[in-house]
């Protein structure tokens, strides 16, 4: 079987078009990502995930989703339960830090149960960004707390809940988006903090969770590291910080290439990300012309990327942790006094 291309791609709707199926068979991306536009009913999602995997001939091909809870949730009513934003878990700490950690893990375990029933095996969680009071609200309540310690502790609890349920976590947005004064979906944030400040606060949770299988980069310029390039396309940021001082040796993926923080055409964005040290690039919106341009800049996965990808898939448990869904959901809802029930 031929080696996968160094890309994760989206699709346009709730079923694969003939053009999409043919394209995916041809370019063989390593994985796929789903958004709300791809979600209708449980049966429909199961058919879509099966169809995506059929195009690349791998029954365990990674299929990603952003199911954080709060305002970042691709699955919702009437078929799936509600989950709080990260901040809500952090607010439980005031009463009992151990309880907060337990409920954070439980929430992620419940999400894993939802995802595995649909054929989704990767969640773009946990958010390990530590928000700055003056930073842009794009992170905001998605963060578990305001301190590196709180974010790292609850981030690990969430990652462990996903792993126990047969879903791979992705730590994001490495090495830290919380201090950014702009939304990288719309423009390029530039962070001018000193390296020591970044290392102590922003980077700290990523060092604690450097053993996780996957990480997603931040489209953020840190002038203390590289004055011109965001971490996604910066050899300095990836080699010296992400692979170096943070010690992350898992699979490194770019954030979405279609975000306006990046410059250049899609072929160049893909080439720049991979040459900087990303293992795979992510393109989310399912636009065929954009995907063709991205794939013009993407080759097969490198030897190191293949090694990491193999290690990633080795972290998927064969049998999820024993789990009583009804009891777990009742306990979860009680922890939040029913605010997310229904």
> For the segment 57-74, what is each residue's pLDDT rounded down to a tens digit?
999 999 999 999 999 999
Q: Is residue 48 part of a domain?
A: no
Report if residue 341 sits inside a domain.
no
- Residue whose pair of structure tokens reads 């990260």 in the numeric block: 86
* Residue 340 lies inside a defined structural domain of this protein: no
CATH number of 303's domain: 3.20.20.300
Establish whether 324 is a catalytic residue.
no
pLDDT, tens only, 127-141:
999 999 887 788 999
> What is the pLDDT at residue 319?
94
CA distance 297 to 290: 11
Residue 261: pLDDT over 50: yes
Does residue 332 form part of some domain? no
User: How confident is residue 300, by pLDDT bands cut at 50, 70 and 90?
Assistant: very high
Choose, from 114, 132, 199, 255, the residue flagged as catalytic.
255
Does 337 fall in a domain? no
Distance CA 89, CA 102 (A): 10
Asked if pLDDT for residue 52 goes beyond 80, the answer is yes
- Beta strands (DSSP E) in the chain are 5-9, 29-34, 63-65, 67-69, 72-73, 122-123, 168-174, 190-191, 214-217, 221-222, 251-256, 280-283
Does any domain span residue 166? yes
How far does CA 325 lie from the centroid of its chain? 24
**Confidence class of residue 97 from pLDDT cuts 50, 70 and 90?**
confident
Q: How confident is the model at residue 1 (pLDDT cuts 50, 70, 90)?
A: very low
Provide the 10 A C-beta neighbour count for residue 198: 19
Q: What is the pLDDT of residues 114-129, one digit of tens each?
A: 999 999 999 999 999 9
Whether 255 is catalytic is yes
Among 185, 211, 265, 325, which one carries the catalytic annotation? 185
Judge whether residue 84 has pLDDT over 60: yes
Predicted pLDDT of residue 287: 97
Cα four-point dihedral sign 105, 106, 107, 110? positive
Structural domain for 74, as ranges: 5-40+55-317
- pLDDT category of residue 197 using cuts at 50, 70 and 90: very high
Quote the pLDDT of residue 20: 98
Q: Mean pLDDT, to the nearest integer, of 12-39?
A: 98
Residue 140 lies in a domain: yes
Mean pLDDT confidence for 150-167: 98
Q: What angle do CA 203, 193, 207 make, to 5 degrees?
A: 5
Q: What is the pLDDT of residue 269?
A: 97
Indicate if the pLDDT at residue 46 is higher than 50.
yes
Residue 229 has pLDDT above 60, yes or no: yes
Residue 264 resides in a domain: yes
Judge whether residue 2 has pLDDT over 80.
no
Query: How many domains are there within the chain?
Result: 1
* Dihedral of alpha carbons 215, 221, 224, 228, sign: positive
Q: Mean of the pLDDT values across residues 40-67?
A: 98
| Mean predicted lDDT score pLDDT of the chain | 96
């Amino acid at each position: 079987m031929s080696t996968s291309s160094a890309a994760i791609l989206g699709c346009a709707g709730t079923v694969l078009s003939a053009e999409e199926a043919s394209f995916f068979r041809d370019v063989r991306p390593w994985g796929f990502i789903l958004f709300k536009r791809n979600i209708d009913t449980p049966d429909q999602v199961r058919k879509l995930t099966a169809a995506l995997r059929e195009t690349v001939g791998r029954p365990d091909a990674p299929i990603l989703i952003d199911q954080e809870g709060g305002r970042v949730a691709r699955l919702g009513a009437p078929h799936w339960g509600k989950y709080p934003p990260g901040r809500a878990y952090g607010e439980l700490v005031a009463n009992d830090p151990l309880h907060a950690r337990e409920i954070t893990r439980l929430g992620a375990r419940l999400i894993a149960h939802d995802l595995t029933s649909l054929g989704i095996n990767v969640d773009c969680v946990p958010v390990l960004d530590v928000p700055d009071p003056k930073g842009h609200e794009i992170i905001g309540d998605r963060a578990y707390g305001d301190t590196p310690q709180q974010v790292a502790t609850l981030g690990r609890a969430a990652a462990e809940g996903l792993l126990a349920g047969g879903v791979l976590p992705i730590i994001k947005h490495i090495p830290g988006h919380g201090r950014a004064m702009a939304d990288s979906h719309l423009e390029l944030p530039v962070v001018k903090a000193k390296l020591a400040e970044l290392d102590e606060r922003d980077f700290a949770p990523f060092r604690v969770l450097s053993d996780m299988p996957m990480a997603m980069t931040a489209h953020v310029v840190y002038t203390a590291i590289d004055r011109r390039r965001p971490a996604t396309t910066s050899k300095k940021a990836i080699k010296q910080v992400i692979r170096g001082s943070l010690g992350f040796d898992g699979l490194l993926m770019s954030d979405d290439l279609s975000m306006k923080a990046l410059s250049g055409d899609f072929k160049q964005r893909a080439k720049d990300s991979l040459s900087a040290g990303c293992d795979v690039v992510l393109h989310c919106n399912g636009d065929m012309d954009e995907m063709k341009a991205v794939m013009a800049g993407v080759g097969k996965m490198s030897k190191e990327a293949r090694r990491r990808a193999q290690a990633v898939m080795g972290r998927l448990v064969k049998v999820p942790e024993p789990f009583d869904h009804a009891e777990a959901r009742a306990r979860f809802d009680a922890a939040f006094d029913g605010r997310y029930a229904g």
